[in-house]
Amino acid sequence: MGNVIRIGTRESQLAVWQATKVQQLLAENNFHSELVYIKSEGDIDLHTALYEMGVQGIFTRSLDIALLADKIDIAVHSMKDVPTQLPKGIAQAAVLERASYKDLFVFKNADVVNVVNGESLIVNEDASKLEAPFTIHNSPLTIHHSPFTIATSSIRRKAQWLNRYPHHVIENLRGNVNTRLRKVAESNWQGAIFAAAGLERIGLRPENSIELDWMLPAPAQGAIMVVCRDADVFCLDACGHFNDNLTALCTKIERDFLRILLGGCSTPISALAQVKADTIIFKGNILSVDGKEKVEVEMTKSGLDGSGLGTRENADLGVTAAHEILKRGGGEIVKGIRNATK
């Protein structure tokens, strides 16, 4: 390999932002690099729902192939898109410090928030205590009684939304961030769900959006992973300079939870590990696709050292939590999901 590190990236604005961020971090550590653009299957087919495409690796497969074919030296991924089992010959080189892990509800008009069954959609449990009239951006809110329709391509978001709002209608929404925002504006939907990190990184978070504090994120949501060939010592060393230990630990726990339960991002499985002082706080859940069934777990482990690496028991927290959720009835949900996809 030459002195210039070839960074593989998808062509979307968000993917290029992420790759450029890695390029900047490499430059800060005196490594030269260039961007190489590669299309993914997920970018080409914008009509089929992700969970109908055998989605595992749908946004990473083309980059993995280019990496193994020595067309690029490293690849940059949204970590939540990366399969829990990396392809043979590919290794995790770095995990960047995590941005927001939250989901956003982008509603159609900046001065309107819909209220259903007396419970506001605008944030969390406290919203149910609000009484009309409401205001946002100094404008009165409107209460709609027609069927409430939102859009998302995520089976996880769909299941959690239907668990909370079982009478709502969910439409499929595909495309990159810019395309999805345009589709929302042109549709008759009340709104759509997006990852906060994706919109915020490229400066596209609309004013008419609110964080869904009650919605647990996808494992590793908000994190960026860099991968390289497992024998490429040069790239492993280069990327190691900006690996964030705490984010790497938390996302490992979340992805272990996903791997033990089912293993793919096309499933209604959510997980979040956070570090407070020397303690890891983990929350996870699994839902049936229709949102009617839900099993959740919460665990804590203390004993992190100053590096954020922690003990083996800390690192295995996701595995422990997954086995606990299976005991609590999650196994039946997993079985139902598997039968539905056969």
Separation CA 14–CA 28 (nearest Å): 21
Tell me if 222 sits within 8 A of 246, measured CB to CB: no
Nearest CA-CA partner of 115 in 123, 342, 195, 188:
123
Helices (H) and strands (E) in the chain, counts: 11, 17
User: 88 exposed, middle or buried (CB, 10 Å; 0-12, 13-18, 19+)?
Assistant: exposed
81 given a catalytic annotation: yes
CA distance to 31, 119, 228, per residue, from 69 (Å):
22, 53, 12
Among the options 81, 103, 232, 256, which is catalytic? 81
Separation CA 171–CA 228 (nearest Å): 36
Bridge pairing between strands 149-151 and 191-195: parallel
Measured in degrees and rounded to the nearest 5, phi and psi for residue 16 equal: -65, -40
Structure-token match 């009484």, residue found:
131
Please list the active-site residues: 81
